[in-house]
Amino acid sequence: MTIDFDNLDPEALDFLSARSLSQVPAGTPRTELFQEGRYAAYAQDLGFAWRWAIARDGRDIQEGPALSLESARLSARRVLAFFARLDSPPTPA
């Protein structure tokens, strides 16, 4: 199968859009990826991809798609590193 990116129908990629990821069917089980301080990450198997999400103090703050559980774990860790830097106090120069 070849994808023609010059003439791509926007509907063709809708299955990975943030809108459709946010509409995960109720009751889809979550797999906890890790928990660190105020943050927790989990993933959900959508059948065609995994949805990973990071929660801070119990509220989702970031989500994304991944093709496997391991890639979901790696993606969530990298994004969490960014949030951890934002939470760290600045170091004096």
- Residue 93: the pLDDT is 67
Overall average pLDDT of the 40-69 stretch: 93
Residue 16 exposed, middle or buried by CB count within 10 Å (0-12, 13-18, 19+): middle
Helix, strand or coil for residue 40?
Answer: strand
pLDDT in tens, 74-89: 999 999 988 888 777 7
Distance CA 32, CA 26 (A): 17
Q: Is the pTM of this model over 0.85?
A: no
DSSP structure class, residue 38: T
86 token code pair: 């934002």
Please list, in sequence order, all residues whose beta carbon lies within 8 angstroms of the beta carbon of residue 87, skipping any fewer than 6 positions away: 38
